[in-house]
Structures are given as C-alpha cells and as structure tokens.
Amino acid sequence: MASAQSHARRRAFFLVLPLLAFILITFVAPIGQMLHRSFHNDGFTMHEDIGTGVRTPIMTNLKAWFDANPAGTEPTEEAFAALAADMVVLRELKAPGQAGTRINYELSGTRSMFTKAARQAKKLEAPYKDAFLDLDKDWLNPDLWRVMRDASSAYTFNFYLAALDLTRSSDGSIEKVNENRQVYVTLFTRTLFLSVLITFLTFVLGYPIAHLLATLPLRYSNLLMILVLLPFWTSLLVRTTSWMVLLQSQGVVNDSLVGLGLLGDENRLQMMYNQMGTVIAMTHILLPFMVLPLYSVMRPINPSYVRAARSLGATSWTAFRRIYFPQTIPGIGAGALLVFILAVGYYITPALVGGADGQLISNLIAFHMQKSLNWSLAAALAALLLGGILILYWLYDRLIGIDNLKLG
Amino acid sequence: MANGKNDDAFVVFDRVQKSYDGETLVVKDLNLTLPRGEFLTMLGPSGSGKTTCLMMLAGFETATHGEILLDGRPINNIPPHKRGIGMVFQSYALFPHMTVGENLSFPLEVRGIAKSTREEKIKRALDMVQMGQFANRRPAQLSGGQQQRIALARALVFEPELVLMDEPLGALDKQLREHMQFEITRLAHELGITTVYVTHDQTEALTMSDRVAVFNDGVIQQLAPPDQLYETPQNSFVAQFIGENNTLNGVITAIKGDLCEVKLDNGEVIDAKPVNVSKVGERTCVSIRPERVEVNPARLQPGAHTLKAEVLEFIYMGDIFRTRLRVAGNEDFIVKTRNAPDQVRMTPGTQIDIGWLPQDCRALDA
C-alpha cells in the first residue's frame, strides 16, 4: 500500500519535473542572478578573460593596503605604490576600462583616469604619489579613495543606496545625493502614483463594462466581450502608436476639438509626451485586466439577490451598495492587483508616449540595462520594485485576504 | 387586519396582460381577486405564465395592459421596494456575505428601524422558524432546509401583509419538502398573512392552498379550492394536470339532462357527466379518477357501468396497489386499490370486470 503510494507520488513528481525545470531555468535562475548582481559587482576585484575564461584577481595590492589601514586614512606613498603595481597588472590584462567603469558608476569622470594611468603604468616611478598627481590632480580626491575602498570588495550595498538617491560621504556615513541628481525616489513615487491612478481609472471604466457583460443577454454580451478582448489581439505597439495618432497636438482629438470650435488653434491640448499620454494609453491597454476578473466574479451573481434586496425594501442604490457591490470585491481586488502590478513594471507605452515627465521606473531600469550598462544599479532598482510589490501584496493579504482573490 | 372595505379584494388582477416581445402574450387577460388572509397557489407547467404573474405582483415586471391593485391601490407604478411585499425566492437568495442575523436585519435597517427593535424582531422571526441559534452563521454553513427557513423568516421579519413564494421548496428532498409545506401553511394561517405561492408541484398546491389557480398558456384554466379542483375539473387540461387521471376518447351521441351518452372509440357506449361539452357529435375526453374505479363487482353500486378490462401490470406501492389495465383500447388505464386484508392482487393477463358510477365520469373537451 505504502509502496504503491510512493510509486504514484514518484510518477506524479516526474510529470511535473519538466515544469519545475522550466520554472527554474526561466524564472528563478535569471531573477536570482539579477538580484545577486544588485549587491555583487566584481568589476574592481576580478578579471575574466573573454576568450579563455581565465579569472585573475585584480587590484590585490590596493586591497591589501585598504585592509591594513582603516577607512578615512589619507592615501600614503605606500598606497600609491600599490595602486601603481595594480595598474601594471591591469595593463597586462587589458582591464583598466573594466576597473574604471566600476569606479565611474559611483563617481563619474573617473574612468579615463584609470585608462590613462594604466597606459603610463610602466613609466610610473617613485615617488608614486607625485607621479599619479602629475597624471591627474583628482587622484588625491578622498571620494575616489572611498569609492575604491568600497569597490575593492565585490559585495556592496552602494547600488541600493544609489537607487534610493543616497550616497556615502567620504567618511563613510550615508547622505542624500545632490538635489539636482536625485531622480530615482521621484521616479518611484511617480510610478506608484501613476499606477494607483491608472488602477483607479480602469476600475471606474471597467466596472460598468463588466456589469453590462455579466447581465446582457448572451448574444450581446459575446459581441461586447469581443470588443473588450480586441485590444488583446492587436499588437501593443500598434495600439500605442494609434494613441499617438489620436493624441498628438496635430492629432485626431485636437483637430476635432479645433474643428468644432471648442478649442483655439493656438491652445491645442498637450496630451502626449507627458504624464497624461502615459495615463490615457496605459489605462486603455490595461483595461481588460480589470474587466475580466470583474466579469468572472459578476457573472455567477444570481440576479435574485438584488431582487430580494429590492423586495425587502431597499432602493436600487442601497441594493447595489449593500448587496451587489460587496459580492464583487474579490474581483475588484484581483483586477486592481493585476493592473497595479502590470502598471508598476510597464515599459513600452511610457517609453513611446511618456515624453520626459511620463517616464516610469522601468524606463530607467531599461536605460541602465541598455545605455549606461550599469546592470548592478538596474538590478537594485528592479529589486526595490519587486520588494515594494511584495510588501503591497502582503498588505493586500492582511487587509482583504489572498483567498478572497478571484482571477477567473 | 381591520380594514373592512378591502378584505375581500386585497389583491386584484384586473384584465392584466403581459408580453415580452410585443407579439406573443405570456399572460392573457388575467382576472383574479384575492381576499385578505387567503393562501392562493398558482399552479401550472413551466412557461404557463404563473411566475410572470408573481413577478408583476412583486414589481419586477410591468404589466403590458391592465391593472394590479393591492389593498385598493393600483401598484403598477410603485417600485418593488415600496410595495412592502415579502418574497421567498426559489434559490432563497440569502445574501452570502452576511450572516443569518444580518440577512434578517437588512429589511429592518432599510426601513430605519431602531437597533433594539430590530434585534427583538429578528429574534422573534428566527424563533418562529426554529432557527434561533443560527443568527451568527453564514448561509453557506446551513443545509438547504435551514436556508429555506431563513429565507422565510427574512420575508416575514418586516411583517408584510402579503408574501409571495416562487417555488420555494423545489430544491428540497421529499421528506423535508412535506415538512416545510406544513410549516409554511401553519405560519401563514397563524400570522394571518395573504400568500401567493407559485409551484409546478400539484401535490404541494393541493395540500397547502385555500384556492388553487391552474395556469396554462397564460390563462387561468380553473380557480377553485383543492377538493373542487380535484373532483370537478372544468376541462381536460385541469383533469390531466391535477392528480392521476384516466381518459377514454369518444364522441357524444346524446345529451339527456345532467348525463350524456358517449360512444367510445372501440364502440362501447357509456354514460358520463357533461362538463364542457355541449352538442351531439362533438369529440370528448372522458375522465375517471383511478380511485373511483371499482374492480370488485360485488361492491359495485347500483347504476354503475361495467366494462371488460385486461390486467397488464400490477405494482405494489405499500399503502396502495396500482394496477394498469387495458380498457376500451386505452392501455394506460390505472386503477388504485387500498392495501386491505381482503384486497385481491391481480395477476397480469387476467380478464376482469371493472365499473364506476356515471357521475364520477366527466365528459370534457377533447
């Protein structure tokens, strides 16, 4: 009996094995790798030859000096000598760019100092301090030495600090970055605000549609359902581009308003390349994700509930508020959670119609992935986003309860 | 209860018509008057218009023509929540997100009744249906019969004078249904409320009602107390629909006073009581109740017909025996006999003589 059961269990396990492997390879591994990258960057400690795959530790002399001297120590001749020795290694490995880039993430304009020093590495002679200062005055910058000290260990939380507009001062304490360089917190706040707004708008627009879908006779509701699903079947790019056609200042909406005389030609509404464009286009695109869970919850609600409430003396508004609406809350929760999570991570639409102030945090993540190539910062931003969503999910569970969620 | 002037016409349907599509009438020219305190059942097959009538009375459908009066007031333009009619739904429609107590509290809250009075009324209503301990349960935690009781209590808690019930016992098993039939009639009479009850179950209609309105095709076929309905059906639809019924087809050959002569299709001639047949030569459907047929020739009363019959099937049903016979070409002629010590159990294949009194035999429309 027991052996038959364990046999059945083993067989069931083999059946799900491909799925497990798939999830592991496509989901857990990349996310784990990404999260790891957010607090681990070995650009200043390890060099890997692309051709041979040989891994060589770099900046070892400097690391030894950092280990021997506490943080905040003025760089001595000894320190510069270590740096010079490391520069020779960097030059041989053709790795000064890599090391410089790592430092440049936290202190811009420093990458060229590394490439320049490495180029001259062979010619550097004692006293090394003066030799370096001859190359660039900035070699004495205490911030540079602080950053190099942090980077000499592969594990760091500085990317998280950067993602929250924070930095370490030269003595190692945490402070805010310059006001004109604070971008991420503003963007996180804006992303949250716009996502809440979009979720609310999809709810306001989607609730009546879902109700209609659930109560109309089948042949009409099928047609309406096709209209709701139609956006799903058209390419996201096409939909976003059509919004551009509609919303731009010489677009259909503005032309119609001007044509009707409701708007002066010179007062054309700016509905694109700003937050408004992002909100309008994303509300439209995410609407089905609100309508479908709502519909799936409303469909089975027996119309006799509302009738019963009416016969018991409730006005149609009271019947809706006290009887119908509470029964749709699981659908509202599911739809709102779905739309909100999708909106928080949305990328293409804000990139196309958002302009400067309609950008969301994902656009910045993409920027760090593709343009600045600061993957660690991108990973830290993504991790913060993920953490934020998990917290909201937890809150939702505490307040409404996940078992109340009904996706369909 | 004291309002004298309307006690005989508490609910009135006055030439009411209803059509959903503007072409076919679901309810055709309905006239119905209900005295206060009566338990009236609307009985009929599905699609006969009985539920539509109930919905018009509750206010969920509007009459296409005619007027409905409640206590002398026309209510066509009064929305359902102002009619003050209690209603029990087929699916019970207990609000799933509320406890039993909250369900009962709802009609009182929307009427703005104070909390202390509310609690008292809820308690009384729950005790009335013997569900006093269940106030804090959710509907989903109750059995079908318990939900039924709660639905009843909720329809009665705000003390309406008129209660409508739309097949409320349809989802219950037989024993529970019989018990609830008794409970509902008891409550209705104790509280003196007027009840309109819709069902397609004729036993339910017969056992519970003061009067039964048999619906078919949007028309009331007969409106009568249960015993009259069963014993003197006015047309062959009612005869077929209420209780078990044997029919023999034939042609009227003579009408003499309160009896007529019918020539059955196999050539035999019998006497019957003409009900809604009027002229000689008309086709008729003669109806005889199974329990009015006598299979023991010794017990036949004077003046009874006798016919030859062949036993086709004998079914033992405990309290009665149900025997299927071939009579005058009809192979579905049923006879019911009491399971008495001296009763014979007939064997299939035997030829017997059966008989009945001409006045128990009704000639109806074919």
For chain B, the domains span 4-236, 244-365
A396 CA to chain B: closest CA distance, Å?
19
Question: What is the average pLDDT across B80-85?
Answer: 92
pLDDT, tens only, A325-346:
999 988 898 899 889 999 998 8
Whether residue A200 sits in one domain with residue A142? no
Q: Would you say residue A379 lies in a domain?
A: yes
On the question of pLDDT at A241 being above 70, the answer is: yes
Candidates A205, A353, A190; CA nearest to A277 is: A353
Burial zone of B354 (CB within 10 Å; 0-12 exposed, 13-18 middle, 19+ buried): buried
Question: With contact defined as beta carbons under 8 Å apart, do B71 and B10 qualify?
Answer: yes
How many CB atoms within 10 Å of residue B92? 23
pLDDT, tens only, A197-219:
999 999 999 999 999 999 988 88
How many CB atoms within 10 Å of residue A36? 14
E strand or H helix at B146, and its extent?
helix B144-156
pLDDT, tens only, A107-117:
888 899 999 98
Q: Would you say residue A198 lies in a domain?
A: yes
Interface test with B, best of A302, A307, A310, A312 (most B CBs within 10 A): A312
Interface check B106 vs A, CB under 8 A: yes
Whether residue A262 sits in one domain with residue A198? yes
On the question of pLDDT at B3 being above 50, the answer is: no
Dihedral of CA B100/B101/B106/B111: which sign? positive
Whether residue A236 sits in one domain with residue A137? no
Residue A105: give the domain boundaries. 46-156
Whether residue A342 sits in one domain with residue A288? yes
Whether residue B80 and residue A311 make contact (CB cut-off 8 A), yes or no, is yes
Report the CATH fold assignment for B4-236.
Rossmann fold (3.40.50)
Q: Would you say residue A241 lies in a domain?
A: yes
Q: Is the ipTM of this structure higher than 0.95? A: no
CATH architecture, domain B244-365: Beta Barrel (2.40)
**Total count of domains within chain A:** 2
Whether residue A85 sits in one domain with residue A143? yes
Whether residue B97 and residue A310 make contact (CB cut-off 8 A), yes or no, is no
pLDDT for residue A3:
82
A324 CA to chain B: closest CA distance, Å?
9
Q: From CA B42, how far away is CA B214, in angstroms rounded?
A: 6
pLDDT for residue A178:
82
How many CB atoms within 10 Å of residue B231? 14
Q: From CA B198, how far away is CA B57, in angstroms rounded?
A: 12
Q: From CA A408, how far away is CA A294, in angstroms rounded?
A: 8
Whether residue A341 sits in one domain with residue A233? yes
Tell how strand B65-70 and strand B11-19 pair up: antiparallel
Q: From CA A383, how far away is CA A200, in angstroms rounded?
A: 25
Q: Which of residues 304-333 of A touch B (CB under 8 A)?
A: 304-305, 307-316, 318-319, 322-323, 326-327
Please give the structure tokens belonging to residue A151: 């980077």
pLDDT, tens only, A46-64:
888 888 888 889 999 999 9
Q: Would you say residue A190 lies in a domain?
A: yes
Whether residue A305 and residue B95 make contact (CB cut-off 8 A), yes or no, is yes
Candidates A361, A402, A387; CA nearest to A31 is: A387
Q: Would you say residue A269 lies in a domain?
A: yes
Whether residue A249 sits in one domain with residue A107? no
* A302 vs B contacts (CB less than 8 Å): 91, 93
DSSP label of B197:
E
Whether residue B84 and residue A312 make contact (CB cut-off 8 A), yes or no, is no
CA nearest A325 in B: which residue?
B97
Report the alpha-carbon angle B202-B206-B207, nearest 5. 120
On the question of pLDDT at B4 being above 50, the answer is: no
Instruction: Please give the full DSSP string across A320-385, using - where no structure is assigned.
Output: IIIIIHHHHHHHHHHHHHHHHHHHHT--HHHHHH-TTTT--HHHHHHHHHHTS--HHHHHHHHHHH
Q: No. of H helices and E strands in chain A?
A: 20, 4
Mean pLDDT of chain B, nearest integer: 90
Q: Would you say residue A30 lies in a domain?
A: no
Question: With contact defined as beta carbons under 8 Å apart, do A100 and A115 qualify?
Answer: yes
pLDDT, tens only, B248-295:
999 999 888 888 889 988 888 888 888 888 888 889 999 999 988 888
Q: From CA A168, how far away is CA A186, in angstroms rounded?
A: 20
B166 CA to chain A: closest CA distance, Å?
11
Q: Would you say residue A179 lies in a domain?
A: no
